[in-house]
Amino acid sequence: MQAATSHSIAYQGEFSDPVRGAQSVFRAVMDATARPGSIHQLADLCTPPAPLTASAAAIIATLADAETPVWLDSALARSEAVRDWIVFHTGAPVTVHQDEASFALVAAPQSLAALNGFSLGTQEYPDRSTTLILQVSDLTKGAALVLEGPGVNGTASIAPSPMPLHFAAQWRDNRAGFPRGVDLILAGPGCVAALPRTTRLAQREA
């Protein structure tokens, strides 16, 4: 039966050990956020239905719960299995409103037209913002981004791919609203990096 298959996919694929899995993935995300540009291996992964990737699923399983609405980009929202998997394993409500989302899962970053549709927080509560989890296929082979800011000793470099169109301009606008703004978690295959809102792009290397 079609329905039964889709449900059994939704019920499976969480951390083999949820307590340790969430801890190790969180530490990787924390270290990545504290040191923008650094790439951290994820020791524990989930096995979600496609097109949700193993590392993005591990990150959302670590961070999301019933208190954090999750927004899915159209590539993910099309898959009922992905929605069921997230709802079953995290309890997080799936929202269609970008500005309500605590987390946004993006399977096709290249189609992400704007960052400022998401919640940017308020001047009093800049923490009430959306954290975007971008599924990227690579963190070292894309166009290089040179990073500066807190957590970076001098400059750091990272080359994620794919990234949103006109990312440098979008990110400059995001940075200009500080302390308001979104934070990015880049979920590569088995690894993670992050661009918190404080990070500046020094220049784009050819």
Nearer to other proteins, 71 or 79 (CB): 71
Give residues with Cβ within 8 angstroms of 19, minimum separation 6.
none
CA distance 137 to 135: 7
Smallest distance from other proteins to CB 202, Å: 15
Nearer to other proteins, 133 or 191 (CB): 133
Smallest distance from other proteins to CB 130, Å: 11
Chain residues that interact with other proteins, rule: CB under 8 A: 17-20, 22-24, 26-27, 29-31, 33-35, 62-65, 67-68, 102, 122-127, 129, 131, 149-153, 178-179, 183, 196-198
Smallest distance from other proteins to CB 154, Å: 8
Nearer to other proteins, 31 or 138 (CB): 31
Smallest distance from other proteins to CB 147, Å: 11
Question: Six-digit token pair at 8?
Answer: 């059994």
CA distance 196 to 78: 28
Peptide bond into 179 cis (omega under 30): yes
Smallest distance from other proteins to CB 84, Å: 20
Give residues with Cβ within 8 angstroms of 189, minimum separation 6.
53, 54, 55, 137, 138
CA distance 73 to 104: 8
Q: Are 133 and 59 in contact (CB under 8 A)?
A: yes
Beta strand extents in the chain (DSSP E only): 40-41, 70-72, 94-95, 103-106, 131-135, 145-148, 156-158, 183-188, 191-195, 200-204
CB-facing half-sphere around the CA of 171: CA atoms within 13 A: 23
Nearer to other proteins, 66 or 113 (CB): 66
Nearer to other proteins, 83 or 180 (CB): 180
Nearer to other proteins, 66 or 165 (CB): 66
